[in-house]
Amino acid sequence: MKEELKGTGVALVTPMNDDYTTDYQSLKKLLNHIKNGKADYVVVQGTTGESPVISWLEKLKILQFVLDHFNGSMPVVFGHGGNDTFDLIEKSKDLKAFNLAAILSASPYYNKPSQKGIIRHYQLLGDAFPHPIILYNVPSRTASNMEASTTLALAKHPNIIAMKEASGDLQQCKKIAKNKPDDFMLLSGDDALAYDIIKMGGEGVISVIGNIMPGAFTNMVNTALNLDFLGAKKMNEELKSAYNMLSEEGNPSSLKAGLEALGLCKRTVKPPLFDASDSLVKKWKEYFESTPPRNI
C-alpha cells in the first residue's frame, strides 16, 4: 500500500459541460494525459474536483468511470471528508464495493473542533472506513490546523496511513517527518512545497499541477525521491511560474484555465465558483508556447 501512494498523486478536476453536468468525454482525455505523464495515482473528488457541489450519487458515478477507465492500471484514491462524522461513516458503506487504494479525508471545516475533537473524529473514521485513510490538513479551507502532535497521535491508528500536509508550515512538516512511524507517509499538499517536504523525508505529493503538466512535475518528484536534490531543485525552479498561475484566480478555476489552454477541458466551474478570465487562459497559452513539450 505504501509503495502505491509514493510519488505523485494527481488531485483530479471534474471537467464540466456548460450546463454543469460532468463532461465524461473530457474526463477520459484528462485521465489519458495524466497516465501518459507517468503520474503514480489519481485522487477522485478532492477539493480540486469541486466535491462540495457534486452530489453523492454523481461522485460515485465519476469514481466508477475512473476505475473502469484505468481497469487496475493505476491506483485510485477517493476524497471523502467533511464536518459530519457520522454522515461520513454512513456514506462510507457505499464505498466497500470499490477497489480503492485509500480514502483522502479532509479535517472537519467550519465546526473548528479542538485537537481532541479532530483526533476523535479521525479515530471513529479509522474504525469504520472500509479502506485506509489519508489525513488532510488544509487550514486555509477548514479554518483549523491539525497540529503535528495530532497527526502523530493518529499515525498510530492501523487504518490511518498518511498525511497530506497543506498547512504551508514547514516546521510542522519537519516535526511530523522526524517523529512519524516508518509505515506512515508524509505527503505534500502543496505543489510549490513538494520539493522541500520530500527533502525533509516526505514520500510524495498530491498535486494540482499534475493535471496540466504530469510529465514535468512527476519527473521533478521522482528526481527528489531518488535523492538528486540538485537536479530536482532546478526542475522545481522551472515550474515556479506555473505554480504562480495556479493561484491567480483560485483553485480549480486557474487550473481549468490551463486545461482549456491545452484543449483538455473547458474552464467551466460550478457556482459559487466563477470561471477563469480570458486573460488567464491567454497567459497559459503563451506559457505553453514557450515551454518545451517534454516539460508538459
Q: Which residues are catalytic?
A: 136, 164
Q: What are phi and psi of 13, to 5 degrees?
A: -75, 165
Which amino acid appears at position 87 of this protein?
Answer: D
How many alpha carbons fall within 13 Å on the CB side of residue 282?
Answer: 3
71: its cell numbers? 481497469
233: its cell numbers? 531543485
Cα–Cα distance, 31 to 146 (Å, whole number): 32
Cα–Cα distance, 39 to 25 (Å, whole number): 20
Q: Which residues in the chain belong to E strands, given as ranges?
A: 7-11, 41-44, 76-79, 102-106, 133-137, 160-165, 185-188, 204-207
